[in-house]
Structure formats: structure tokens, C-alpha cells
Amino acid sequence: MANQVTDIATVKASRVPRIDGPKKVSGLARYTSDHNFPGLVFAVPVGAKIAAGRVTAIDAKTAEKMKGVLAVYTRANMGPIYRPVTGDGFAYKVDETRPPFEDDVVRYYGQYVALVVAETFEIAQNAARSIQVSYSTDKPRIDGELTQDDLKKKESERGDVEKAFAKAAVKIDQTYVTPVEVHNPIEMHATVALWDDKQEKVTLYETSQAIATQQNILAMMLGVPRENVRVISEYLGSGFGGKLWAWSHSALAAASARNLKRPVKLVIDRSMMFTNVGYRPETRQTIKIGADNKGKIQSLSHVYTSQADMLSDYKENCGEVSGFLYGSPNCLVSSAISRRNKGVPTAMRGPGAVPGLFALESAMDELAIALKMDPVQLRILNDTKIDGSNGKPFSSRHFKECLELGAKKFGWAKRTPAVGSMKDGDEILGWGVAACTWPARRLDAKVTIEMRADGRVRVVSGTHDIGTGMYTVLAQVASTELGIPMDRIDVVLGDTALPPGPIAGGSMAAGSVIPAVIEAVKAIKKNFANAATKTNTSAFFGSKPEEIKYEAGMLNGPKGKVEYAKFLQSINMASLGGIGEAKGTMNDKEAKFSTKSFGAQFVEIGWNPDLAKLRVRRIVSVIDGGRIINFQPARNQIEGAIVMGIGMGLFEKSEYDVRYGHPANGNLADYIVPVHADCPEIDVTFLDYPDKEVNEWGARGVGEIGLAGIASAITAAVYHATGVRVRELPVTIEKLLKANV
């Protein structure tokens, strides 16, 4: 393998190419749908063509007669698929709690109403298309302003916002709208299900960011003991949150394998990616900020409505950061939901904070303008050392440095604030800034490490590398802690048969697993000392365990030094292992500190009014994400997230047909995402301050934070260039044609 890093100094320098890179580029890395087995058959779901109503009849006669069709499943003949229930935390989390085929009610376009299984994918597709479904149709609830369907729920409150707002010298009271956005990873959701009839055991190859949760939920849905479900997800073609929780197709694939006693592969198609596997729901958010004459915030209220589907309780947690980002003495965050006949929404990269920061940071830009104040200075003025939502100090907050360094790198001092005042050739330039933040939390994690007598080291955990660099980061941490070169370390992830690791979500996985690796290394050192002193054939036999030190791959004791592998060979051991466990801090109410990451995003846009052409020209991002273990994948995460931010700012929106409720742009030709030509130079800087409150290495995890703030920095820049304040995303050319500049 080329490009492998072998020396520990390089590992510590923290620029290590991905150890799974060669496997990925050579095709050796097997993704879910790459798994094939003897007797494999193919399942294709049939989705409803209405958004509200009932299925009255399903005519599958043509499909059933087709050569190669093995079964057409509907409610009538699928057999049991039970209801899962979502629990506290992530262990039993599922957004779509209605099992497929449970009743004949259709609540969203695309909801599965039948499933064809055939000898080939093509036959299954043809047969699925031939199925005629009849409906009784109700008027779907698709469009219209999000008005609250339930009572407003208070999420964070301190002081008296109304009173303070009334007294404030400068006030902003604006409403911001974000549309439905779809994750659209390149790899489509898939399940390959193998059912062992004799033992009632099922193995599921899954596109999953949370195999342990998938195991729990699928055990519930299939009605088999949890230990009889094994879930494997070694590589993922990205998920962005859409692959965190189980979706209906997985249970359908497993139930088909059970019925047919054949391995079943089910890969959903791109159009189903828009309807059946979650999306970021629409939000409508009102921000009221009251400040004194100098710009100090006195009152901040964030009241929002999040669009939901007809059954689930997923809510975009828009106000999560509003309680702590700035130091307002009076603050209120409250929310409601508004139900629609649309698919079930779910977490999408930076859930809550990303649309929430679009609203909050847009309002901050509007406040700066009202105050005739520099927007960077306004944010610095309202920086705080205390998390106002819980009164706790931040463990490590370098927000001001992010803003100052970003401003310096961007050249912010040259900005002239008047609208349309900066030009470059035919383009009017707009410069905008926004803050970003994301919680840093830890989940439970377990890791085993085996030091083998052949010199290789295995680091094993049932967590994931979803494209983020976990394989590499774990190898780096183990390499550093054990003093063993990277190219002798194998990392094994993505299987519920392994010791349970955290979900790959919330930018939490790396920070959660590191302390477990450290614990495993401690255990190994003890186990070596015991093996060395208590084995009669050992050169150290009879010494005290505390006299034996493990140092950089060597055992060092009263009788000299020996390389660990040679030592294992000398006492007839094939391997020596250690188990490490670390507790999560996610729901720790006793925590002394508030742990968050921060950052600042600077954007330059160019607006050519003659051609009505808008483009992002330049982005500078400064991230305070704790210690960065590997700058290469970390920068890659932030750059990717920023590209998603450009999509959010300028392009992305699911448009629904109000009659049938289907996403009219439900494909990658019509749902616009940024391409290379839309992406400017992106300059990412990490402050790299270790946050020891989170873990021993001080790593907080990065990824989602890169998307936060980008859309509001873009709309701030657009305002600066054009004088048009876009409060409803995305910024389309039509909205800018109203500009008089």
C-alpha cells in the first residue's frame, strides 16, 4: 500500500492520509450493496402515488405472472413486522415508528404499499412498475405557512424577554424561513438481509451510522431476540444524519428474506431518497433581539415552528444554540410543530443549529446594520464566558479569536459597509460574516486492543467510519499511545459483533472513542506486567508487576528490555489484549463546564447585475474544535460541510406538488446541489486548543460545525452587495432582481 505513514513523529504532526484510502480507491472497500451471496434475490418497493388517503386495492396480477418474480408482498401477505418505539437517548431511536404495511392509510407520497422480490433487479423493477394501486384520496396538507399545531414548548428561558425587549434602544423582530432540504449522499440506502431459519438469526448489511441502534430497532420490528440480529456497516458512502435511524426498507428486506429463505438485497432508488429516508424539515423562526445603544444584547427570543410529518415527533431543534451563543441576560427559546403529508423528517448535518443559526445570525447582521456597527465587533461585544442556558462556564471557548483571526485572514478591515460600495470589474462584492457553534459531547464507548505476536495490533470497536476518518484517527491514537507505527495497526469497525461503540452522529464519535482507547492501553500495560512476572517461562518471572514498564512497543524491567512481540513469542502467547470502556457525558447534569465548539465564517460573494449572476467567490472559516487529531480529514469535513452550506444558501429546496405531494424536483438533475464550479477557494483554519474536559486528548470532534453559519454569512454578503435581505432560503436570482443596484 502506497502512502502509508510509518513513523510516529509524522503521526504526531497530525497530517496522516486515510489508512482506508487505498482500499477505497482500489475498490476493495465493500459498501453495503457490494455484498452478494449465493441465491441472492432483489427487492424493489412500490411507493404510494398520493400523499393522503387510503389504499383500496392492489392489482399485482401482471407482476405475479412475470418470469423470475418470486413474490409480491402487501399488507395481506407480508407477515409480521412489529412496531418499534423510540426511547430516550440513541439506543432505541427511530423516527419512522409506523412499521411498513401496518395499515392501509397513506400519509405521504412514496410511502411503501407493496414490495416485489425477483431473481434480478431488473425483473423486480419491471414488476414493481406494473403494479396498479387504487386509492381513495383525501386532500393532502402540503403547502401553506407553518402555523403551530401544538402548544408552544419552552426550551430555554431566563429573565423576562418581553420587558427587556420593550425597553431596548435598538430592536430587531424578523421571521426567517428555511425549506425542506435532502441529504442525498452518493450511496443510496440499502439493506442486504440474510435469514438463518433454523436459528431465527438475521444478518443485515446496512447503510448505517448507528449499527447498535439498528440492531435494537430491527429486533423489535422482526420480533426476534436482540442477540439474533447482527448488523454490519463497514464503509459508508456518507449519511449526513439520514442513515442514523432505521427506515422501513430495512424491515421489508429482512421480512422478505425470512419469508423466502433467500438472501435479499434492497437498494432504494434516487427518487425514494427524497421521500422515504428523512430530510431536514421546513422551519419558520422568529427572532427578536433588543440591544442597548452600544450593541449589548439585553433580550433574545427565538420562537419557531418546525414542520413534521403526520405521525412522528421529530422536531428540528432550531433554538439549541440560541441559549448560549451570546450573553443575553434575558432569553427565551420556544417551539411548536406543524404537520404535513410529507415523508418522515430526520436529523440532517448539524440538525437544529444549522437552520437555527441561519435565523439567529441573520438577525445579528440586521442588528449590526441597525446599530451602524461592524458585525464582527457586534459579535465580539456579545461574547460570553458563561453558558447562559445553564449558568456553567465554557470549558474552552475561543470565539473571539475565531472572529479576529478570520477577519485578519479575510482582510475584513478593508470592508466598506455601504450597500453596493465594493466592486471588482463587473461584479459588486458583498462581504458577510456569521458565527457557528456546535455542542461537544461524549457517548459510551468500548474498545478492545489486541497486541499480536506477529507484531500487528488490532483496534476494535463497534463504531463507524462514515467517511469521516475514524479508521485513521483510531490508528493514530493507538499508535501514539502504544508507540507502535501506524502501518502495523489494523482498525476493525462497523459490526454489532464487536464491542459496542458510539453512533457516528452529532460529531461525537471520535471524542467518545478516544478515552476508551486510552483505557484499553492502560489495561494492556497491566496485562503485560502480569504476563511478564507471573509466567514461569518469562525472563521477568518473579519480578514485581510494577517493575515492568511498557514503553513504545518494548517491555522494560529489571532484567533489561525486550520488544513486546518477541516477549509474547518467548512465552508462547499469540496475542495479549486489553478492554477499554469510557462513559458518555451527554446527559451529565452534574458537569461543571459547558463544552461547545465555536467558529467564524467569512464569505465574499460577487453579484453581476447585468447578467443577474451570483456566485460565492471566497470563504474563510476559523474553527475552535478542540485539539485536531488529523488536520487532513478534519479540513476535509469542514470543506465538505461548507459546500453543503453553499447549497443551503443558494440552491437547495424540495418543491412539492400540492396535488399529489411528490417532490417535483426529486432527482439530482432538478434538486440543485453545488458543483465544483459553484465552490470557491475555501480557507479553513483550526485553532487547535485541546479541551481536556471532553477527553484526554482534548478532541471535540469536527464536521457539522462547518455547515453552521454559512447560509447566513452568504445572505449577509448578498445584502451587502445588493441591499436585498433574503429571509427565506435559498437565495434565488428572482429574489435579487428586486434589487435596485
| Residues binding ligand MOS (CB under 6 A) | 209, 239-241, 244, 347-349, 351, 505-506, 704
Tell me, what DSSP letter sits at residue 583?
Answer: -
β-strands 229-232, 264-267 pairing: unpaired
What contacts 600, CB < 8 A, 6 or more positions away? 376, 379, 399, 402, 403, 405, 406, 407, 433, 434, 435, 436, 621, 622, 709
Q: Which of 192, 215, 211, 91 is nearest to 494 (CA)?
A: 211
The grid cell for 280 is: 431536514
Query: 349 vs 441, which CB is nearer to ligand MOS?
Result: 349
Q: Kindly give the pairing relationship between strand 201-206 and strand 229-232.
A: parallel
Indicate the residue among 256 and 468 with the shorter CB distance to ligand MOS.
468
Q: How far is the CB of 346 from ligand MOS (least distance, A)?
A: 8
Quote the least distance from Cβ 400 to ligand MOS, whole Å. Answer: 27
Backbone conformation region of residue 712, classed left if phi is above 0, alpha if psi is from -120 to 50, else beta:
alpha
Residue 349 or 618: the one with the smaller Cβ distance to ligand MOS is: 349
DSSP 185-250: -SSPPEEEEEEETTTTEEEEEE--S-HHHHHHHHHHHHTS-GGGEEEE----S--TTTTSS--HHH
Our CB check for ligand MOS shows the closer of 209 and 448 to be 209
Smallest gap, in angstroms, from Cβ of residue 703 to ligand MOS? 7
Helix axes 470-482, 509-534, angle to 10 degrees: 40
Q: In whole angstroms, give the CA distance from residue 655 to residue 666.
A: 8
Site of grid cell 386509492: 135
Least separation in angstroms between residue 372's CB and ligand MOS is 38
* Residue whose CB is less far from ligand MOS, 164 or 348: 348
Q: How far is the CB of 71 from ligand MOS (least distance, A)?
A: 34
Q: How far is the CB of 504 from ligand MOS (least distance, A)?
A: 7
Among 183, 187, 191, 184, smallest CA distance to 236 is for 187
CB nearer ligand MOS, residue 312 or residue 479: 312
Q: CB-based contacts of 570: which residues, under 8 Å, 6+ apart?
A: 537, 538, 539, 562
Please tell me the distance from the alpha carbon of residue 549 to that of residue 534, in angstroms, as a whole number: 15
Cell of 4: 502509508
Burial of 199 (0-12, 13-18, 19+ CB in 10 A): exposed
Q: Which is nearer to ligand MOS, 244 or 368 (CB)?
A: 244
592: number of Cβ within 10 Å: 9
Cell numbers describing residue 677: 464550479
- Burial (0-12, 13-18, 19+ Cβ within 10 Å), 727: middle
Going by C-alpha positions, the residue among 344, 338, 363 that lies closest to residue 145 is: 338
Measured in degrees and rounded to the nearest 5, phi and psi for residue 626 equal: 75, -165
- Closer to ligand MOS by CB, 464 or 662: give it: 464
Closest CA to 121 of 275, 274, 270, 265: 265
Closest CB 341 distance from ligand MOS, rounded Å: 24
Q: CB of 498: closest distance to ligand MOS in angstroms?
A: 20
Q: Cβ closer to ligand MOS: 241 or 375?
A: 241
Nearest CA-CA partner of 155 in 291, 280, 337: 337
**4-39 b/e (C-beta count within 10 Å ≥ 16 → b):** ebeebeebeebebbbbbbebeeeeebebbbebeeee
- What's the min distance (Å) between Cβ of 503 and ligand MOS? 8
- Cβ atoms of 383 and 327 within 8 Å: the answer is yes
Contact 409, 682 (CB under 8 A): no
Cβ-contact 493, 471 below 8 angstroms: yes
Q: Distance between CA 265 and CA 256 in Å, rounded?
A: 10
Helix (H) or strand (E) holding 554, with range, is strand 554-557
Nearer to ligand MOS, 208 or 256 (CB): 208
Q: Give 39 or 89: the residue with its C-beta nearer to ligand MOS.
A: 89
DSSP annotation of 500 reads: B
Residue nearest to ligand MOS (CB): 241
**What gap in Å lies between CA 78 and CA 68, rounded to an integer?**
19
728 is annotated as an active-site residue: no
Q: How far is the CB of 273 from ligand MOS (least distance, A)?
A: 15
Q: Which of 155, 704, 728, 734 is catalytic?
A: 704
- Chain CA centroid to CA 73, Å: 33
Q: How far is the CB of 116 from ligand MOS (least distance, A)?
A: 31
Q: Residue 27, by phi and psi: left (phi above 0), alpha (psi -120 to 50) or beta?
A: left
Indicate the residue among 277 and 521 with the shorter CB distance to ligand MOS: 277
Cβ of residue 357: shortest distance to ligand MOS, in angstroms? Answer: 14
So which residues are the catalytic ones? 704
